[in-house]
Chains A and B, each alone.
Chain A
Amino acid sequence: MAANAKTVSEPVAQGNPSVSLSNEEILRYSRHLIIPEVGMEGQLKLKAAKVLLVGAGGLGAPSSLYLAAAGVGRLGIVDFDKIDHTNLQRQVLFSSADVGTPKIEAAAERLHSLNPDIQIDRHETTLSSENALEIFRDYDIVVDGTDNFATRYLVNDACVLLGKPNVYGSIFRFEGQASIFGAPDGPCYRCLYPEPPPPGLVPSCAEGGVLGVLPGIVGCIQAMETLKLILGLGSPLIGRLLLFDALGMKFRELKLKKNPECPLCGENRTITHLIDYAEFCGIRGEEAPAPQTTVPEITPRELKARLDRGDDLYILDVREPHEFQICNIGGHLIPLGDLSRRVNELDSSREIVAHCRSGKRSAEAVEFLKKAGFRKLWNLKGGVLAWSDEVDPSMPKY
């Protein structure tokens, strides 16, 4: 294991023989320098290291803070988003005053104020098959803090094609995963999962969400693994998938092997260039694009007008009870998953308007009811989010 770690860190150490520390830096890194396993040699390796963080979100926030604080000499960040209120619950890199500003700007400013001695590279762009190799090429290690499958596969593939280790982290509600992919002789993400799941089988926003501390824990594990790779210390998470269960407060570990049939790093590779997968839902709360359907839609404004006219409409809310508690438009709550069991509660002679948060689950509900023989059906276009935008701005969005 130690040998593995060394292999990965060698290019880092060799690249910059002329690096040295100022007296201020020696003071700043004192607690590193007095650890024999780090010492001056290790701190110089950190200073010479070039690490790219893909995504300045829940995972990228803690990992970038710790990597900057630790003195990683050059940190690149790829992100194109602006900070919004929903980020603040976990993205500790940002403050309330930053809402509305590009993440990359706020991140660079925050990291620079934490450690003015390091270089921060801003890549304010969406990672794509066009730019990934070019951006990654300059760095020694890539830290994957992405929130969707499209970018996750792009990061993995670019790292394997360039031979760079990919420090992986992923979270879902109360569960986290971490590993290192793309190390010499180690497995890659495609060894584990050859293809991304189809959009329809990815958890929808009904099942999204994350407890704020979880990305903090997983992001810190990624930062720790990154430092270990740079320093050539300990046993890196190569060939191991760490599973973290926050509720049980348990760590488990599964063995990962390099798959000889891997389409990217196996013996008979079929993937030799980067692929852009259509982005679809992860934890982001964006749902998969609705399949081409003929579900009749009603806009929030039309619905409001009809309700004001006193039309007899049955509003069916197919979200989950905890979502109903956040906000509702006075509909009858039957979660999508319960609909088949509770369909007898509906009156097929009445016009039914189904809605959810953004319109996808309710489209499924309408499809289902159509098959069950209901005829007078509408799907509320854009769900309660659109209702808030178009009809009642006082209704909270989530």
Chain B
Amino acid sequence: MAVKVMIPTPLRAYADKQETAEVDATTVAEALSALTGRFGDLRKHLYGENGKLRSFVNVYLNDEDIRYLEKESTHVNDGDVISIVPSIAGGSSASTGRESAR
């Protein structure tokens, strides 16, 4: 099955600056494996040392969180979109805290 993986901005640095990747897979696990096979540096950002998806990275199949489907065993269909959604922290930003601390 051809599925599209959406790579979020913070992780594009580890994926050859690509916004999306087309992979061939029958499950979410296979799709992510194909992705990290292509972009090796992504692996440590997606998976912890225990081999599990990191707790600050969520994966969605279309608009559903795979934690509430069959996790990584969730089957994918042709044309499905997998989104990797890491937590991001930006909000206000650069402040004098930095300068004055020096």
Q: A: which residues have CB within 8 A of B?
A: 55-60, 79, 81-84, 86-87, 90-91, 144-149, 152, 169-175, 177, 192-197, 201-203, 207-208, 210, 215, 241, 243, 252-257, 259, 281-286, 337, 382, 385-386, 389, 397
Contact = CB atoms under 8 A, between A and B. Distances in A.
A90 B93 contact: yes
Given A243-B85, A284-B98, 19 more contacts: A79-B92, A82-B96, A86-B95, A144-B91, A147-B92, A148-B91, A170-B90, A170-B91, A171-B88, A171-B90, A175-B9, A202-B89, A203-B13, A254-B83, A255-B65, A259-B67, A283-B88, A285-B98, A286-B97
Contacts of A149: 87, 89
A196 B92 contact: no
B65 A59 contact: no
B37 interface: no
B56 A283 contact: no
A147 B89 contact: yes
Contact of B45 (A79, A201, A386): A201
A341 B13 CA distance: 15
Given A192-B58, A385-B102, A389-B102, A57 B92 contact: yes
Given A175-B88, A284-B98, A257 B93 contact: no
Interface string B59-86: 0100111011000000000000001011
A48 B56 CA distance: 37
B91 A282 contact: yes
B55 A91 contact: no
A171 B97 CA distance: 20
Contact of A254 (B65, B94, B100): B65
Given A207-B13, A254-B65, A337-B13, A84 B89 contact: no
Contacts of B97: 81, 286
Contact of A147 (B60, B86, B93, B99): B93
A47 B66 CA distance: 42
B85 A284 contact: no
A174 B90 CA distance: 11
6 contacts: A60-B91, A86-B94, A193-B55, A193-B56, A207-B13, A284-B92
* Count class of interface residues, chain B: 20 to 34
Q: Identify which of A60, A83, A169, A197 gathers the most chain B CB atoms within 10 Å of its CB.
A: A197
A285 B96 CA distance: 11
B49 to A, nearest CB: 11
Contact of A55 (B54, B88, B92, B100): B92
A84 B8 contact: no
Contacts of B85: 241, 243, 254
B21 to A, nearest CB: 16
B87 to A, nearest CB: 4
Given A84-B99, A193-B58, A193-B87, A56 B65 contact: no
Contacts of A252: 63, 83
Given A173-B9, A194-B55, A337-B13, A145 B99 contact: no
Interface string B4-23: 00001110010000000000
B87 A197 contact: yes
Contacts of B83: 243, 252, 254
B60 to A, nearest CB: 5
Given A254-B85, A256-B65, A257-B68, A175 B8 contact: yes
A58 B92 contact: yes
Contacts of B94: 84, 86-87, 284-285
